[in-house]
Structure 1
């Protein structure tokens, strides 16, 4: 599509939308402005993916929240963690016991002096941290004992410690914001049951 055609299409959006886009993206190309206008004008899409707060800290979209921390590692902390991650082949499947956990990842930064820990989960921030303490405390304490100042997952100070190092997301997108982990498991079981039924018919 030509520049003129893009400009013409952009002008078709309500003035309030165009003004918002121009104010935020004054130096952007018209193709990006047009895409931004399309997003803003799609009220249903915007409502479904609205970003709110996860409670104490962090962003939330629908039922899914995010947590990102950058933590200082103890000397040799990265080495100890690498041994553990190597032992399990980088597979942290045991964390699924938490029940609300969509994903988690560990990344070493700054020559192994810092650890990025990021995760997505269902619900509010405080209950999520409580789940770590009640469902996988040994796992959490082994991993995070390599972090400077870690108070222990059952410590009354652990939430303040996490908040100290958490960096809230400035933007957050979830493809299926209202699909919880529990609902995903339920749908998976239903699909398996349907497939078994169809297989038995044959």
Structure 2
């Protein structure tokens, strides 16, 4: 008589082994790496192997949240986060470079008045082609039109002082000045901003905050916090609530 074998039902929820519920992420990584290498070969096939390896590492670590220079600043220029760039080339009038050098030397290259433009990060002036041409480069917050308007309304005298040595400069108050600037401006092909969300106003506010915090800590150091703490905190809040200069 054949022996009857009993089969036991598996406990509910038991698994026979790991179940693959989707594509293997390792395959996705390999496919992405292959695609990166293919693109690197397209754009840098003649580069040394070490350069390709470095480029591969940079692309693999790239943060997709950073938009880089993919945005336009408006009429001209590129924008990364809140920060924009303007790069312009122009021909100088005879003697223009020497005249500007005298101005730069007189002021030690420090244009404090330009801080009235609260979006201005920096301005750079470079002479080339035997002092016949000038490169003007600046970094600022926001859009192109608003920035040029700030130049015209907040530091018009400084702008005309600096740019009257440029051939064809119409004057910052002239209605054609934006057309003039746009004609001489060239968008950056590549541009990197370490902190694209931080504006000039943010920097000044953070500097004021750091100073106020340090002063508050100095005031309460070695004292009875129950007595000195509220007074120091009030002084800190008062300082932070009052804008200074162009901190707005």
Length-normalised TM-score, structure 2: 0.73
Structure 2 counterparts to residues 128-143 of structure 1, below 5 A: 128-143=147-162
Pick closer, same or farther for the CA change 1:171–1:46 going to 2, 3 Å. Answer: farther
* Alignment partner of 1:22 is 2:41: yes
Which residue in 2 is equivalent to 1:50? Answer: 68
- Contact map agreement 2:68 2:191 (CA 8 A) in 1: no
In structure 1, what is the Cα distance between the partners aligned to 2:52 and 2:64? 16
Structure 2 counterparts to residues 84-163 of structure 1, below 5 A: 84-163=103-182
Length-normalised TM-score, structure 1: 0.89
- Contact map agreement 1:39 1:46 (CA 8 A) in 2: no
In structure 2, what is the Cα distance between the partners aligned to 1:34 and 1:58? 31
- Contact map agreement 1:49 1:173 (CA 8 A) in 2: no
Point out the structure with the larger helix share. 1
Higher RCO (CA < 8 A, seq sep 6+):
1
Pick closer, same or farther for the CA change 1:35–1:12 going to 2, 3 Å. Answer: farther
Superposition CA RMSD, Å: 1.6
In structure 1, what is the Cα distance between the partners aligned to 2:178 and 2:108? 29
CA displacement, residues 5-26 of structure 1 (integer Å, 9 cap, x when unaligned): xxxxxx7952221111111111
Which residue in 2 is equivalent to 1:171? Answer: 190
CA positional deviation for 1:31: 2.5
Name stretches of at least 5 consecutive residues in structure 1 with no aligned partner. Answer: 1-10
CA displacement, residues 97-117 of structure 1 (integer Å, 9 cap, x when unaligned): 111011111111111111111
Pick closer, same or farther for the CA change 1:73–1:125 going to 2, 3 Å. Answer: same
